[in-house]
Amino acid sequence: MSVPGTSYGRTDTSFFVPAEETLHQRTFMQWPVSRKVYRDSIFLDMVQQTIADIANAISDFERVTVLAALEHHATARSKLSDQVELWDVPTEDLWCRDSGPIFVINGTKELAVSQIQFNGWGHKQVHRNDARVAAQVAERLSLPLLPSGLKGEAGGVEQDGHGLLMAHESSWVNDNRNPGLSRGEIEARLLATYGAHHMIWSEGVYGEDITDYHIDSLARFTGPGRVLINLPDDPDMSDPFHVAALATYDRLVAEGLQVEVIPEPYSVRIEDPDFVTSYANYYVCNGAAVMAQFGDAETDAIAGEALARHYPGREIVPLNVDVLGELGGGIHCATQQMPFV
């Protein structure tokens, strides 16, 4: 697939992560296989089909590479479009945003991989293979691997590609990831990893979910100074996630950002208090924004209209990814972009 050349406005050799909405060379995804994670084989099949659905949808717009050990390629191929490529890179789970490579570029169009070491969200899940995914992809592409000195996940920090980051402290300033490091030390390393110059912190929620409340399920940059955030219309102030979400909203507004709110759905197909209903966990690819729809016609439409405004000229592709919501994530969590250079 050929795409026109682009400039990211840098002329020096410092590396940075481009905005997600800039041109991609491809999307990486991971194939879930671990029976230690997915003890129910029927549910695992449902998860795999959902990952295939996402990969197939994105492949209509750009190249998609799914990572899986060779022994799992036949199963994966039976669900994936012929347009989707398979690489022999062993995985346990699907969360490529967290364990996959973070691609950085510089003004002279060199490409590298910034390495935030995945440790299973603070040793909460098996990750022998997933912890090696980023390094293996960098090796296969013959790209430099740039260590950050951090443990964590890219889903725990959101970046606009223009020098600004936002994150919840709970996903980083946490002994299960970065013991002995202060918030200031972590901030400096995150800024260096992403080639950014300013960080917005909010407290988040410690210990209530496997991610310690990743920011990408709540709020996303859609351009310089512009944020889309997913909030309940009627927040439950006894719910720590609602309290934290409102605090994050207030923090972003106080920073002078343009913040648009989209409501959480009222009626969903999965009746489970732990089910994640995040419209913010969408993925932007070349020519499309792929989003979750939850079966609430009103809020599904509001979310789609908001994405169409924020990403004009892109096709809005809604998918039923309820099985990922049951696992605590969404489409963005399952994808990782490789920028075009």
Distance CA 146, CA 112 (A): 7
Q: Is residue 325 part of a domain?
A: yes
Answer yes or no: are the C-beta atoms of 64 and 27 closer than 8 Å: yes
Distance CA 90, CA 113 (A): 18
Q: How many CB atoms lie within 10 A of CB 181?
A: 19
Q: What is the pLDDT of residue 12?
A: 65
Residue 119 is encoded by which pair of tokens? 């440790």
Question: Could you confirm whether 333 is annotated as catalytic?
Answer: yes
Q: What is the pLDDT of residue 5?
A: 32
Write down the H helix ranges in the chain: 41-58, 73-79, 96-99, 120-123, 133-140, 183-194, 240-254, 297-310, 322-327
Q: Is residue 14 part of a domain?
A: no
Check: pTM over 0.85? Answer yes or no.
yes
Q: Which is the catalytic residue, given 116, 166, 292, 333?
A: 333
Q: What is the pLDDT of residue 273?
A: 84
Q: What is the pLDDT of residue 222?
A: 98
Q: Is residue 111 part of a domain?
A: yes
Phi, psi of 116 (to 5 degrees): -95, 120
Q: Is residue 3 part of a domain?
A: no
Answer yes or no: are the C-beta atoms of 245 and 231 closer than 8 Å: yes
Distance CA 86, CA 73 (A): 7
Q: Is residue 4 part of a domain?
A: no
Phi, psi of 285 (to 5 degrees): -120, -175
Q: Is residue 19 part of a domain?
A: no
Distance CA 171, CA 118 (A): 12
List the domain range (segments joined by +) for residue 270.
Answer: 24-339
Q: Is residue 90 part of a domain?
A: yes
Q: How many domains would you assign to the chain?
A: 1
Q: What is the pLDDT of residue 11?
A: 43
Q: The domain spanning residue 277 has which CATH number? A: 3.75.10.10
Distance CA 21, CA 284 (A): 6
Distance CA 217, CA 228 (A): 11
Q: Is residue 309 part of a domain?
A: yes
Spans in the chain with pLDDT lower than 50: 1-11
